[in-house]
Homo-oligomer: A and B are copies of this chain.
Amino acid sequence: MNGKQRMVEQSKQWLCDALINLMAQENFQDISITEIAQTAELSRKTFYHSFKNKEAVINYLCDQLFDQYFEQLLQQKPQVGEMMLKTTFDIFLNFWWQKRDLIQLLIRQGLFDHMNEIWQQKAIPRYQQFAAPWHVHGTPTQVNYVMAFQLGGFTNILRVWLGQDHPESPEQIKDLMLLAAQQLADSLNTN
């Protein structure tokens, strides 16, 4: 990355930070582009040079988040069986626990759905690089739907978990999830 690109990235980051700061005090809908630019100490022109609109800033922010998440996931030592399930839960829960302030802000502003859209688009192709936390076999279509189910399930747990004012610790959620998974399996098998 050369100096010119660094300048552009820096501006984008400043605008992002400005929007996040404003969102802590004001409703997303009511924040104007002028306000963001002023807070970032940049001109409105620079905003429109960096982003198409307010939503694009959120997109950029979410892109960064997911790249960070998948980086952590890729560093995971290859594992199998139950250990893999636990490791995947650990990474998932701890990552979002670290980012909880930002996520809670997004949830409160009704932007979690927006993040989810980006997650789904980026995650499905990327997940082909990994084995699923539980073993999946079958036709590509079958695998795809099982993936979609898991992905949607995890994301929604994240929504409920961090949507609370005082969310439980990652450890508590982990135990909860393992128990729930086991129960789900039991109930499906005994039916």
Contact = CB atoms under 8 A, between A and B. Distances in A.
Interface of A: 81-82, 85, 110, 112-114, 116-117, 120, 124, 134-138, 141-142, 144-146, 148-157, 159-161, 168, 173, 176-177, 179-189, 191
B152 A81 contact: no
Given A137-B183, A184-B184, A188-B134, A159 B155 contact: no
A168 B182 CA distance: 30
Count of chain copies: 2
A180 B149 contact: yes
A186 B186 CA distance: 9
Nearest to A124: B160
Contacts of A148: 153, 156-157, 159-160
Given A135-B187, A148-B157, A148-B160, 10 more contacts: A85-B191, A113-B116, A138-B180, A142-B179, A146-B184, A148-B156, A152-B157, A152-B159, A153-B156, A185-B189
A156 B152 contact: yes
Contacts of A110: 117
Nearest to A55: B29
Contacts of A187: 134-136
A57 to B, nearest CB: 15
Contacts of A182: 188
Contacts of A180: 138, 142, 145-146, 149
A157 B184 contact: no
